[in-house]
Amino acid sequence: MSLSKQVTTLWAKKRSEEGEHYWLPLITHLLDTQNTINWLFNHWFSEGQRQLLAQRLGEENVEKLVKFLGFVHDIGKATPAFQVKRSFDGDSELDVELLEKLVNNGFTGLDELTLAAPQESQHARAGEAILDREGVPESVTAIIGAHHGKPEERSQNKQIAIYTANYLQRDIGKSSTDKKIQKNWEQVQKSLFKYGLKLAGYEIVDEIPNINQPEAVLLEGLLIMADWLASSEYLGKDTEVPLFPLISLDQTFEEIDMKKRFRSAMMIWYQTGEWVPAQIATKGDPYKKYWGFDARPVQQIMTKAIADTKDPGVVIIEAPMGIGKTEIALLAAEQLAFKTGQDGLFMGLPTQATTNAMFARVEDWLESLAKMQDENFAIKLMHGKAEFNEDYRQIPNASNIDDEGAVVINNWFSGKKSILTKFAVGTIDNLLLMGLKQKHLFLRHLGFSNKVVIIDEVHAYDSYMNQYLYKAIEWLGAYHVPLIILSATLPKLKRNALLKAYYKGKYGKHFKKNVIAPTGWQNQQAYPLLSILDDKEIKQITDFNVQSNQESVELQVKRLQVTDTEVIQVVLRKICSGGIAGIIVNTVKHAQVLAKLVPDDVKLIVLHSAFLATDRVSLEKILEKTIGKNAKRPYKMIVIGTQILEQSLDIDFDVLFTDVAPMDLLLQRAGRLHRHCIKRPEMLKQPLLYVMGINEFGDYGSGNEAIYEKYLLMKTDHFLSDKIQLPNDISRLVQNVYDNNTDSEIEQLTEARDKFNTDFQCKKKKAKIFQIDNPNLEVSAMDDDMTIHGWLSRGQNHVDTDERKAAAAVRDIQETLEVILVQHLETGNFLMDGQNLKDCSPIKIAQQVIQIPQAITPNYKIDQVISQLETQTSHYFSDWQDSYWLRGELVLLLDKNFSGELDGWKLHYSPILGLSYEREGKDE
């Protein structure tokens, strides 16, 4: 089937550069995209993704549909509304030249066309309308309408009738000229459509199938990826390596060697190998092979149980701190990838600190895989400060390495494309955002659908975040993505909710009727515990020969009801003959107050969120080197910190003091007490946990109750005895606190419980406002709810372009503000460590960021504060706008005493205490 000169004269892209004019014929871009999406489907898509789409449609039919979508995605550009569009750079000469080319090839009068409402038929919408006219199923046309990131609200089957001139150059008219012009455009559009049908392998339009919603989301993501790749003129912004370049205006489509163009582009772009997961042999010891240590019984039994699964969906690993859950999970990732055809991994963690700590471990694991397979594998660190991570910055770029068997970075996968990297370690926000209505959400779903997903520290997420977590897990279930969940302190209600969410996404809503499960599975309190959803069956492994696995440790628990000054005195007495004392409190303010009471002659480290990013990283490294595994410990030291110490660091205290917290978090903190097998000071050989902040039953102080629900604190207070056996008591204690059946054992709980339930319902309701719907697994040719129409509705513009706002939305936190601290003196501007800014690289300056306390920047004032800082920054550092690293950053100036002022607040920075603030002389 040949194409007319009219068709090959239509343009898809145009631009000017240094007086030269360039264009790309529409047919070229359509073929580029079709070739690209077909290649991605066959070579970049995982086997698991292909199997999911082929289950109902058959692999041959899926590939036809993929080719069809790739070709017709921009058919809406074959309209007058698009062809008369002006250049982005306003080059009227280029516009005239292309219009003349079109007029000379049969598009009479196009150069004189004025449309009343061309914006109503932008090309993605127009493409959907054209396909609808040709009889393509609505579930497929909706994909074309959404290929710029957001679907239409409903079918566009009335578009052409309402805005006829946008499609046919003339509105309905009786003159023969009008009809001829309209017929001309209609023939051009039909010609492209029929050409696309034929190239895809369809004989007639009726062969195009209806698809369900998850299938449509994945195909949409693949189409967007293919379109972006086929629209990439160069490999990256800072390179001249061509991918799909525009051509000179005097060149034609017929002069392009399309096969050579495509082959060249893909050879340049595809810089890494494909992970081919191997089956883990459980007869030997894979732990010895990978990590050089003998597997513990818990590790052996869990790995064997996972190996015995047939269609694994969810694996939940509950085991004590320090037992080696990460190693179990990484081996499980290989096992599940092998069984399900996945070829990537995402590991999600609660914070940037936990993510950074885990990244190095995953990188080591991935490097061993790369060497085994003799391939290069790309990895991505996904959080807001990833570019400042030294380990990450040392990884070579894929285009700069010739050796095989290495871990690399592929810079094409950046911004919204980051999650498309096959291997990624990031904060949990990246997964939670699967549930948030946000433009280009399809790419996020595409990126997760080819991976094994590991969620670490799953207990760390509150009831609001859990709503997004369950939503994300439902969609993972819809894509048959294997999921591994880790926790040392998981409430059974949450365990059950995680399993149900995945089942519901994979099989539909009839969980109770169809699930196969052992009696009493919902109340299982065995510990350690392995829960597996294998096809529709829930399996629970409880026998781990724990006695031979890990010695039981008895903690002595004492409640400490004294002033802050007296707390420090107790601490000093406990370490008078040597030892490391940890103090974990619930607020930065409390940490700073206690730190000021420590005598100058006692070694002290303070760690919390109110430090410069560079100082915090440095402090974390110092802590791990000082009291981490195999560290040379000081004779005597006090460490004071906030929740950071309970989550991120493999450190060991001889004695621990902690503010009261819910039981699961209290036990996490206790996991830092006598964590390693080392020699202790004589006075501290018995693990001793002091719990502060319990004034009396039901009174835990306003600070603690502002952070944690009083209901959970009261139940923790009730069930916390003076002795805890670890790990034996972990599950029992956690379940007692989170099981509402135990409420009857406690008096005076009614008011706190009612508030807890009310708050939970409010958070649940609030979380739904901006959430996508549950995956619809049904297929229908008549129902908008079963397509992707309206999937991202509700006017989500406020989170579409700002990742920080999106992250705040899924965490239910106030939008935060970060600044760069600079000491501003008459002699110049300096970093907090005394270095002159003139002697510092932009990236070093950009790393000196700190988060402004939320008390200073409440939502109603944040714009005012930003304006104040922008004025200050532009006055003193206008040249920052010319720097990639510093553009858009805000500065907070401090004086010679490291103090400053912001919106009526006094701030002070100390490398020992961090950032403190007060107003009108009073601590806030």
Are both 43 and 106 inside the same structural domain? yes
pLDDT at residue 200, as a whole number: 97
Average pLDDT score over residue span 791-805? 61
For 627, the token pair is: 């009291």
pLDDT at residue 544, as a whole number: 87
Asked which of 590-594, 686-690, 804-808 is least confident by mean pLDDT, the reply is: 804-808
Are both 834 and 697 inside the same structural domain? no
Q: What is Dmax (Cα atoms) for the chain?
A: 104
Neighbours of 512 (CB within 10 A): 8
Q: Tokens 């292909």 map to which residue?
A: 50
At residue 784 the predicted structure's pLDDT band, cuts being 50, 70 and 90, is: low
Are both 501 and 603 inside the same structural domain? no
Please say whether the beta carbons of 619 and 645 come within 8 A: no
- Whether residue 458 has pLDDT greater than 50: yes
Helix (H) or strand (E) holding 705: helix 701-707
At residue 803 the predicted structure's pLDDT band, cuts being 50, 70 and 90, is: low
Note down the domain range covering 881: 818-923
Average pLDDT score over residue span 410-429? 93
Q: Mind listing the pLDDT tens digit for each residue in 133-181?
A: 999 999 999 999 999 999 999 999 999 999 999 999 998 766 888 889 9
Task: Supply the DSSP symbol for 54.
Answer: H
Neighbours of 100 (CB within 10 A): 12
For 496, the token pair is: 């059950």
Are both 64 and 15 inside the same structural domain? yes
Average pLDDT score over residue span 633-646? 94
Please say whether the beta carbons of 724 and 666 come within 8 A: no
284: buried, middle or exposed (CB in 10 Å: 19+, 13-18, 0-12)? exposed
Last residue of a domain, one of 706, 726, 746: 726
At residue 799 the predicted structure's pLDDT band, cuts being 50, 70 and 90, is: very low
Mapped to the 3 state alphabet, what secondary structure does 317-385 carry?
EECCCCCCHHHHHHHHHHHHHHHHCCCCEEEEECCHHHHHHHHHHHHHHHHHHHHHHCCCEEEEEECCC
What burial letters (b/e) apply to 462-475, b meaning 16+ CB within 10 Å?
ebbbbbbbbbbbbb
Are both 392 and 322 inside the same structural domain? yes
Q: For residue 756, is it within any domain?
A: no
Instruction: Round to whole Å and give the CA distance between 375 and 85.
Output: 46
pLDDT at residue 781, as a whole number: 58
Are both 341 and 379 inside the same structural domain? yes
Q: Mind listing the pLDDT tens digit for each residue in 43-67?
A: 999 999 999 999 989 999 999 999 9
Please say whether the beta carbons of 525 and 310 come within 8 A: no
Neighbours of 58 (CB within 10 A): 12
Which three-class secondary structure state does DSSP give residue 424? strand
Higher pLDDT, 802 or 729: 729
Which three-class secondary structure state does DSSP give residue 533? strand
Instruction: Round to whole Å and give the CA distance between 363 and 355.
Output: 12
Average pLDDT score over residue span 745-758? 94
Instruction: Round to whole Å and give the CA distance between 146 and 133.
Output: 17
Nearest CA among 482, 547, 459 for reference residue 737: 459
pLDDT at residue 797, as a whole number: 41
Nearest CA among 215, 176, 164 for reference residue 51: 215
Are both 522 and 557 inside the same structural domain? no
Which three-class secondary structure state does DSSP give residue 518? coil
Q: For residue 195, is it within any domain?
A: yes
- Whether residue 796 has pLDDT greater than 80: no
Q: For residue 856, is it within any domain?
A: yes
Higher pLDDT, 554 or 857: 554
Average pLDDT score over residue span 839-848? 93
Give me the CATH number covering residue 77: 1.10.3210.30
Nearest CA among 716, 317, 309, 326 for reference residue 495: 317
Query: How many independent structural domains does the chain possess?
Result: 4
Please say whether the beta carbons of 739 and 435 come within 8 A: no
- Whether residue 800 has pLDDT greater than 60: no
Strands 849-851 and 818-825 come out as antiparallel
CA 539 from centre of chain:
29
What is the reported pTM?
A: 0.93
Average pLDDT score over residue span 710-719? 96
What is the CA angle 626-609-798, rounded to 5? 145
Neighbours of 134 (CB within 10 A): 18
Q: Mind listing the pLDDT tens digit for each residue in 215-250?
A: 999 999 999 999 999 999 998 766 678 999 999 999
- Whether residue 8 has pLDDT greater than 70: yes
Strands 899-902 and 655-659 come out as unpaired
pLDDT at residue 772, as a whole number: 92
Are both 320 and 261 inside the same structural domain? no
Average pLDDT, the chain: 92
Q: For residue 773, is it within any domain?
A: no
Please say whether the beta carbons of 489 and 459 come within 8 A: yes
Give me the CATH number covering residue 423: 3.40.50.300
Are both 112 and 235 inside the same structural domain? yes
At residue 283 the predicted structure's pLDDT band, cuts being 50, 70 and 90, is: confident
Distances (CA, A) of 759 to 477, 752, 754: 28, 10, 8
pLDDT at residue 2, as a whole number: 83
Q: Mind listing the pLDDT tens digit for each residue in 663-678?
A: 999 999 999 999 888 9
Peptide bond into 528 cis (omega under 30): yes
Q: For residue 718, is it within any domain?
A: yes
Which residues make Cβ contacts (< 8 Å) with residue 759, sequence separation at least 6? 463, 709
- Whether residue 546 has pLDDT greater than 80: no
pLDDT at residue 889, as a whole number: 93
Are both 574 and 474 inside the same structural domain? no
Q: For residue 146, is it within any domain?
A: yes
Last residue of a domain, one of 693, 726, 759: 726
pLDDT at residue 548, as a whole number: 42
Please say whether the beta carbons of 244 and 266 come within 8 A: no
At residue 525 the predicted structure's pLDDT band, cuts being 50, 70 and 90, is: very high
Average pLDDT score over residue span 484-492? 95
Are both 326 and 454 inside the same structural domain? yes
Task: Supply the DSSP symbol for 60.
Answer: H
pLDDT at residue 399, as a whole number: 78
Average pLDDT score over residue span 543-551? 63
Q: For residue 407, is it within any domain?
A: yes
Are both 522 and 570 inside the same structural domain? no
Last residue of a domain, one of 675, 700, 726: 726
Mutual orientation of helices 463-478 and 441-448 as an angle, nearest 10°? Answer: 70
For 143-292, strand residue ranges (E) read: 247-248
At residue 69 the predicted structure's pLDDT band, cuts being 50, 70 and 90, is: very high
Q: For residue 596, is it within any domain?
A: yes
Instruction: Round to whole Å and give the CA distance between 653 and 687.
Output: 9
Radius of gyration over every alpha carbon of the chain, rounded to an integer in angstroms: 30
At residue 921 the predicted structure's pLDDT band, cuts being 50, 70 and 90, is: low
Helix (H) or strand (E) holding 31: helix 26-39
Asked which of 278-287, 340-349, 353-362 is least confident by mean pLDDT, the reply is: 278-287
Q: Mind listing the pLDDT tens digit for each residue in 92-118?
A: 999 999 999 999 999 999 999 999 999
At residue 764 the predicted structure's pLDDT band, cuts being 50, 70 and 90, is: confident
